[in-house]
Chains A and B, each alone.
Chain A
């Protein structure tokens, strides 16, 4: 055991013991009493109200603490049957025969369905953006399987145990094929999906580095190439997936499902199944975590819904953990190489990123993660950046979101900056100070055209440094090294786009509907949804604050698509920002209405009316005081006493459309000790300095950050979904897939910056940040600790074995090929093979054979159906071309509308430009080649790089 370590606090006054090295967080130092204003000074002025800004107790807790929550498996319906799936034991192959005879004979089995039985429903397995997939996706395997765990048959029985018994008795004969498992294999292997040219699921950017960018990189006095290999992650909400579906009448479906937004699920099911939206009611009162997995139904849930339609009995499916670890979509498996040119003094000159992620066989969204490139340098003064980004199909379970899906940008940038600082001989703080965008630099626009007005990563960093004495730490670190003990400090800064709305169909505003009931109590229906976020609490705080009623007298309803309006729920750190704004606006409308009525009844003007603690009074006339219930009774029940044109009742609603994007910022510091004998990492201290604007409830804000940081610790040290070379999952239980336990997570300390945003209420999103910034902070701390031994390759997770290989100077990295395409000025900073450079040939297009001019028109003119691979998934476009000599004209139309263009036609080569407004103002430059009845080519989309276009004659 190591000697106790003193980790420098601001004044190092804490008596730090071995087992408890962190100082108390601010939250620990203050009162938790409900409704009691906190003494905490930091969010005064801007944020503190009677309830907004207070650590009030959560409304959700009493039912959850007493076992009376309502999770999906807690609901049972008369006549319900249970579902289990027979799943593929191989990663790739054709289904030759399915024999269900024995299984059907099991007493208690009602039916067994395969895809053939469900095909008649023609489900369209659309993405979160409501776009149809490029490859065929069916709820159950359709003649072939593409990953281990793919559902092949669905068994319906009296009980889950009987259904499982029967599922194990279904005999499936497969013609097995060699699977493609890793990103690396996907590059070169023949396509895993029939009818595709390659394994690229999505691609953006340029395959060759732009010449000017290359020149900038080459002139840089310091050129760093940094590689990160990120393992695959299971989101692992503690409540697995599950659904209970019932038909309540003709065309009426009620769906209890564990999800991230009942409204989103209703919309998805309605479109995917082609049903009128009114016929679907989705209920999800309590949800045991989502983290990106539960954005919308996928294969299993859809199969259960269809099976219930077919059998006309209520069906329940509750995923077990084994199924969840092999069959639920997973996240994060990705590799990235980042080249960065620095000037002598460490200022940034230019950068290029090459990113790949594993989409599995059937991703919920064919993803090449363009956001990684949009945000990698957004908060830094980076003059120029280029990229290539691709997603790859493999024979593994599909890709889905996980808290901060674009987090690679912060991980690779922040770890690269530390590597660069060591290389250049700069302090890691200094390299950030020289390059971060400060408040003084704003407004400005990033190299990827992101407008910045009020991001504060530099300010968060300075604030962090007031809470941590770096100089004292460096002394301790040096002294410890003398005793062969290895302490390390990791810093990271970042910004996060939160509360996004308006650019993507499903990313909308939020709706607040609120009323003062005849009882004088307040009820509100929100479009929000909580999977632990506590929105019923934070929204109630806002209503209580703004309506002048007691927090106890406010009830917030959510979690039912038949109430409230559309919102995608928990996705993109958005609910606090957007729903918070909606609640404030709706409360203000209702307060105004109440004051209008009260002033009429109490014979004064609305300005003179005060509402406080459920009582309505006239300023300066205490005798003129009525309870809110009195006023409400009149509003609802005595129309004769209402002012003229006054709509009876006390109700208001507001749908808030926030600014397109609201940024959160943060800086984190993490201190570790790495045991040089065992390679084990012990986290000694962790400070989060974050700017989430107005914190509605600091305890909930800290809870969101803490949960994210714990997940980051899991990503860096523990978690990894594994496959063998045949694609068999090797982490099918929690004995193999290691989630962080209480002993793995230190006490977190918080420093809040609280710069109000420009959204109503000033909130900034905080749902994902911890999971984003935590990983590089911890990696940097470990790398700093082990710097005497050399660089630590960033191949997550950093297991003791990997760290020992650094300590002992052995090369255990799983890829050893020397990076071939990297400018070698400074050598490589990582021994890992960088993402393989783009070698994929252009889609084969027959060269324009001598096309006689008079036949050009015949070749080109007419209607075409095209697919444009956009960052939001493949988009169907229909096009109309007309040629006149070498002039081209026509129009493209998509669900968003139709646009005319003109351009040129040289031989069978077409070039034309289109200016679009959404999601950003960009010019799309099409360059297409027609070959018979097919066309192919590229669309250059401004800073988004190029996207593939393919099409055929309509």
Chain B
């Protein structure tokens, strides 16, 4: 197998690694870089669990080769929360809304929502509820019946609500 050297940034830290040409980005992130928060639910592009942010865009890392990310800036679910443990808005909203059960699909859902709503990634205006739900239709969650995920999406599409504190 041919090996290739790639240099890239993951969660703000620089990495340099020799990878086989056939290694997927997901396997590289999990096995080489140690970001096991990248989950593999199908390895064929349907479930969305493996979603990470590559150069500002949500990408299914099971469908991308590691060699394609040479020079890229990647964020995984491990890279969102603050160092002191404060959750990212997307993460906090999902917790508040009971948007997860087993948590296996969760990293992908978090990354898709973060890519669309976090100003440091998105290039356009904050998405509408429909846009966000449209993006989430590419994620499979077997546990929750999507109720909390949808509530979280609604909140994130209307960010005023998020910062208005407790809206009982």
Q: Which residues of chain A have a CB within 8 Å of any CB of chain B?
A: 19, 25, 28, 30-33, 36, 39, 55, 57-58, 60-62, 64-69, 71, 73-74, 161, 236-240, 286-289, 291, 320-322, 530-534, 699-700, 702-703, 705-711, 733-735, 739, 741-743, 745, 747-748, 770
Contact present for B101 and A66 (CB under 8 Å): no
List residues of chain A with CB within 8 A of the CB of B85: 62
Contact present for A74 and B142 (CB under 8 Å): no
**Max count, chain B CB within 10 A of own CB: residue among A39, A238, A291:** A238
Contact present for B143 and A532 (CB under 8 Å): yes
> Could you say which of B2-10, B91-99, B115-123 contacts chain A?
B91-99
Output the nearest chain B residue to A735 by Cβ-Cβ distance.
B46
Output the nearest chain B residue to A537 by Cβ-Cβ distance.
B98
Contact present for B166 and A321 (CB under 8 Å): no
Please report the number of residue pairs spanning A and B whose Cβ atoms sit closer than 8 angstroms. Answer: 186
> Could you say which of B53-61, B63-71, B103-111 contacts chain A?
B103-111
List residues of chain B with CB within 8 A of the CB of A705: 145
Contact present for A237 and B130 (CB under 8 Å): no
List residues of chain A with CB within 8 A of the CB of B130: 19
Contact present for A706 and B43 (CB under 8 Å): no
Question: When A and B form their complex, which 3 residue pairs have the shortest distance between CB atoms, in order from nearest?
Answer: A67-B37, A64-B103, A288-B104
Contact present for B41 and A321 (CB under 8 Å): yes
Contact present for B142 and A236 (CB under 8 Å): yes
Contact present for A65 and B95 (CB under 8 Å): yes
Is B137 in the interface zone, CB < 8 Å from A? yes
Contact present for B142 and A237 (CB under 8 Å): yes
Docked pose: A699 CA to B77 CA in angstroms? 25
Q: Which residues of chain B have a CB within 8 Å of any CB of chain A?
A: 20, 22, 30, 35-44, 46-47, 49, 76-78, 80-81, 85, 87, 91, 94-98, 100-107, 110, 130, 133, 136-151, 166-168
**Max count, chain B CB within 10 A of own CB: residue among A66, A700, A743, A748:** A66
Docked pose: A612 CA to B119 CA in angstroms? 44
Contact present for A238 and B49 (CB under 8 Å): yes
List residues of chain A with CB within 8 A of the CB of B150: 742, 747
Give the distance to chain A from B3, nearest Cβ to Cβ, in Å: 13
List residues of chain B with CB within 8 A of the CB of A747: 147, 150
Residue of B37, B39, B103, B168 touching A39 (CB-CB under 8 A) = B168
Give the distance to chain B from A735, nearest Cβ to Cβ, in Å: 6
Give the distance to chain B from A165, nearest Cβ to Cβ, in Å: 10
Residue of B78, B105, B133 touching A67 (CB-CB under 8 A) = B78
List residues of chain B with CB within 8 A of the CB of A39: 168
List residues of chain B with CB within 8 A of the CB of A61: 94-95, 100, 103
A64-B42 contact, Cβ under 8 Å, with A289-B142, A747-B150: no
Docked pose: A163 CA to B116 CA in angstroms? 38
List residues of chain A with CB within 8 A of the CB of B76: 67
A706-B44 contact, Cβ under 8 Å, with A65-B95, A743-B133: no
Give the distance to chain A from B94, nearest Cβ to Cβ, in Å: 6
List residues of chain B with CB within 8 A of the CB of A236: 142
Output the nearest chain A residue to B76 by Cβ-Cβ distance.
A67
Docked pose: A748 CA to B140 CA in angstroms? 18
Docked pose: A756 CA to B30 CA in angstroms? 46
Contact present for A57 and B148 (CB under 8 Å): no
A68-B78 contact, Cβ under 8 Å, with A62-B87, A238-B49: yes
Docked pose: A708 CA to B35 CA in angstroms? 31
Contact present for A239 and B104 (CB under 8 Å): yes
Contact present for A238 and B142 (CB under 8 Å): yes
14 residue pairs of the A-B complex, CB under 8 angstroms, read A36-B166, A58-B100, A65-B94, A66-B81, A67-B36, A71-B36, A237-B104, A238-B102, A288-B41, A321-B43, A321-B47, A733-B46, A742-B141, A770-B145
List residues of chain B with CB within 8 A of the CB of A66: 37, 77-78, 80-81, 87, 91
List residues of chain B with CB within 8 A of the CB of A161: 20, 22
Give the distance to chain B from A928, nearest Cβ to Cβ, in Å: 47
List residues of chain A with CB within 8 A of the CB of B145: 703, 705-711, 745, 748, 770
List residues of chain B with CB within 8 A of the CB of A699: 98, 148
Residue of A28, A322, A742 touching B133 (CB-CB under 8 A) = A742
Contact present for A238 and B47 (CB under 8 Å): yes
List residues of chain B with CB within 8 A of the CB of A321: 41-44, 47
Docked pose: A699 CA to B47 CA in angstroms? 25
Give the distance to chain A from B29, nearest Cβ to Cβ, in Å: 10
Output the nearest chain A residue to B96 by Cβ-Cβ distance.
A32
Contact present for A289 and B95 (CB under 8 Å): no
Output the nearest chain A residue to B149 by Cβ-Cβ distance.
A742
Output the nearest chain B residue to A709 by Cβ-Cβ distance.
B145
List residues of chain A with CB within 8 A of the CB of B91: 65-66
Give the distance to chain B from A460, nearest Cβ to Cβ, in Å: 19
**Max count, chain A CB within 10 A of own CB: residue among B40, B47, B102:** B102
A710-B41 contact, Cβ under 8 Å, with A61-B95, A65-B106: no
Contact present for A238 and B104 (CB under 8 Å): yes
A289-B143 contact, Cβ under 8 Å, with A65-B95, A66-B87: yes
List residues of chain B with CB within 8 A of the CB of A28: 151
Docked pose: A236 CA to B142 CA in angstroms? 7
List residues of chain B with CB within 8 A of the CB of A68: 37, 78
Docked pose: A677 CA to B87 CA in angstroms? 47
Output the nearest chain A residue to B38 by Cβ-Cβ distance.
A67
Docked pose: A291 CA to B145 CA in angstroms? 14
Give the distance to chain B from A818, nearest Cβ to Cβ, in Å: 40
Contact present for A57 and B95 (CB under 8 Å): yes
Contact present for B144 and A707 (CB under 8 Å): yes
Contact present for A237 and B44 (CB under 8 Å): no
Docked pose: A26 CA to B167 CA in angstroms? 14
**Max count, chain A CB within 10 A of own CB: residue among B20, B142, B149, B151:** B142
Residue of B95, B105, B141, B167 touching A58 (CB-CB under 8 A) = B95
Docked pose: A686 CA to B102 CA in angstroms? 24
Contact present for B139 and A741 (CB under 8 Å): yes
Residue of A57, A239, A734 touching B140 (CB-CB under 8 A) = A734
Output the nearest chain A residue to B81 by Cβ-Cβ distance.
A66
Docked pose: A770 CA to B143 CA in angstroms? 12
List residues of chain A with CB within 8 A of the CB of B94: 61, 65
Give the distance to chain A from B101, nearest Cβ to Cβ, in Å: 3
Docked pose: A472 CA to B141 CA in angstroms? 35
Docked pose: A741 CA to B139 CA in angstroms? 7
A734-B42 contact, Cβ under 8 Å, with A64-B100, A239-B104: yes
A58-B98 contact, Cβ under 8 Å, with A31-B168, A66-B78, A743-B137: yes
Contacts A28-B151, A237-B104, A533-B101 known; 18 new A-B pairs at CB < 8 A: A57-B96, A58-B98, A62-B95, A64-B102, A66-B81, A66-B87, A67-B36, A67-B76, A71-B39, A73-B30, A161-B20, A238-B143, A703-B143, A709-B145, A733-B46, A741-B146, A742-B137, A742-B146
A30-B44 contact, Cβ under 8 Å, with A71-B39, A700-B98: no
Output the nearest chain A residue to B165 by Cβ-Cβ distance.
A33
Contact present for A531 and B37 (CB under 8 Å): no
Give the distance to chain A from B91, nearest Cβ to Cβ, in Å: 4
**Max count, chain A CB within 10 A of own CB: residue among B39, B103, B105, B146:** B103
Contact present for A734 and B148 (CB under 8 Å): no
Contact present for B100 and A291 (CB under 8 Å): no
Docked pose: A30 CA to B139 CA in angstroms? 27
Contact present for A33 and B102 (CB under 8 Å): no
List residues of chain A with CB within 8 A of the CB of B97: 32
Residue of A532, A702, A745 touching B103 (CB-CB under 8 A) = A532
List residues of chain A with CB within 8 A of the CB of B168: 30-31, 33, 36, 39
Contact present for B106 and A739 (CB under 8 Å): no
Contact present for B104 and A703 (CB under 8 Å): no
Give the distance to chain A from B97, nearest Cβ to Cβ, in Å: 7
List residues of chain B with CB within 8 A of the CB of A238: 39, 41, 47, 49, 102, 104-105, 140-143
Contact present for A74 and B36 (CB under 8 Å): yes
List residues of chain A with CB within 8 A of the CB of B98: 32, 55, 58, 699-700, 702-703
Give the distance to chain A from B157, nearest Cβ to Cβ, in Å: 13
Residue of B20, B46, B102, B148 touching A237 (CB-CB under 8 A) = B102
List residues of chain A with CB within 8 A of the CB of B80: 66
Output the nearest chain A residue to B22 by Cβ-Cβ distance.
A161
Output the nearest chain A residue to B146 by Cβ-Cβ distance.
A742
